[in-house]
Structure 1
Amino acid sequence: MPGEIVTVGAAGLKAAHVDRDHAIERLRAAAAEGRLTSEELDERVEAALTARTFGQLAALTADLPESDDGVAVIRQVTGKVRREGAWEVPAVMDLRPAWCDVTLDFTQARIVHPTLHLALDMKGGALRLITRPGVVVDATALTLQFAKTKLRPDASPSPADLREPLLRIRLTGALHFGKVVVRPARRFGR
């Protein structure tokens, strides 16, 4: 994805067979959608089969979008992922990053559904939600293991937001060895 930064330390972690298999599945799906030519597919599959680190695998799929059956999916291993600007907020997002920071900035996002279900299976890293007035975050169903959540006091919903928020974000699933930070946009910058 454009603008992603892979950290050298985490990118150097050894990849397992299952990690290579997952990368190859994504490459084949991208080829089936017409995103890769057969030559590109062959080159990338060969590179995936011999990849030794997460960084090498991430480089093979960095320019490919992820989505499964209308569900926005983020499965980044190491590095950073940002959704910002006028991105369209889906009804469901499946977040499965490992040792990766994910930032979802809702300040200019196009909100087309009243609810966003964020299903997490996140290991390491941080999930940052940058909100705007009318965005309410519910993290009560999130399971934490050696992890924490931080909802800034000014990010808490007002009574009006509880009645009819612009967007209700529901966090479910599990977060291991990481953190979730929910905060409003800063006055000067994000």
Structure 2
Amino acid sequence: MTDDSVPDLRASDADRERVAEILRDALAEGRLDMAEFEERLDATYRARTYGELAPITRDLPASGVTAPVVSLSKEPATGPDGSDWSGRIVGGEGSSTWAVAVMSGFQRKGRWTVPRRFTCFAFWGGGELDLREADFTEREVEINAIAIMGGVDVIVPPGVEVVVRGIGIMGGFDHREEGVPGAPGAPRVIITGFALWGGVGVQRKLTRAQKQRVREERRREELERGTEGRELG
């Protein structure tokens, strides 16, 4: 039985979330602009039946392969927000193995592949290693950070286990993110190195997709409260 054959069947919250996930992917891939995304997202959370949901994603590919339909399966959807690590331990070689900033800066962010060992050096400068959307060559990787009168910031997504083993002299390494258990299948990031009159910071931040999910959840709750208010009135 296809979704088109049951247009009057009531949709569940999980069905609406699966459609929202397709919209988030389309936004990230440039298939939708922000105005189109927000318009379709509002329609998704207002939809009550499969017949109302189906047209929202009819012109969008699911996983870049086929035209999507709303699945009646109860299996949870998986998105690009780090909740599923099975596809992000990729083996092979890293995108790069080192970075240097001498009175300047460096940055690694977006979709890149973290090697088994990455070395970075900052002297009178700074660098940023953003792992939130990165792939990993192995389950355990090491970042060797050397900061002399400079700084290096390492940003990890939720779910990643962090171990800090660096040494600081008149400088320091940030240990605040240690002790947080890793998610099943998530990589382990070991941060080593040396800081002299400088520092190596570690931050745990949501991905753009997760931030968007939080905003969507708030918007959905506001819409549902508004709907309930009109029904009671």
Higher relative contact order (CA 8 A, sep 6+): 1
Q: Please state whether the residue corresponding to 1:97 is helix, strand or coil.
A: strand
Q: Distance in 1 between matches of 2:126 and 2:195?
A: 12
Q: 1:165 to 1:175 in 2, by over 3 A?
A: farther
Aligned length in residues = 116
Q: 1:133 to 1:99 in 2, by over 3 A?
A: same
Q: Match of 2:203?
A: 183
Percent identity, aligned pairs only? Answer: 21
Supply the RMSD in Å over aligned alpha carbons. 2.7
Q: Match of 2:158?
A: 133
- Match for residue 168 of structure 2 among 144, 148, 154: 144
- In the alignment, is the contact (CA less than 8 A) between 2:122 and 2:151 conserved in 1? no
Q: Distance in 2 between matches of 1:138 and 1:165?
A: 16
Q: CA deviation at 1:120?
A: 2.9
What amino acid maps onto 1:177 in structure 2?
Answer: W
Q: TM-score, normalised by structure 1?
A: 0.52
Q: Describe how 1:165-176 pairs up with structure 2 within 5 A.
A: 166-176=186-196
1:120-160 alpha-carbon deviations (Å, 9 max, x no partner)? 33212111111112212211x311111123344xx4443xx
1:50-79 alpha-carbon deviations (Å, 9 max, x no partner)? xxxxxxxxxxxxxxxxxxx97711122122
Q: 1:151 to 1:114 in 2, by over 3 A?
A: same
Q: Match of 1:80?
A: 105
What amino acid maps onto 1:168 in structure 2?
Answer: R
Which structure: greater strand fraction?
A: 1
Residue segments in structure 2 that go unaligned for 5+ positions in a row: 1-92, 212-233
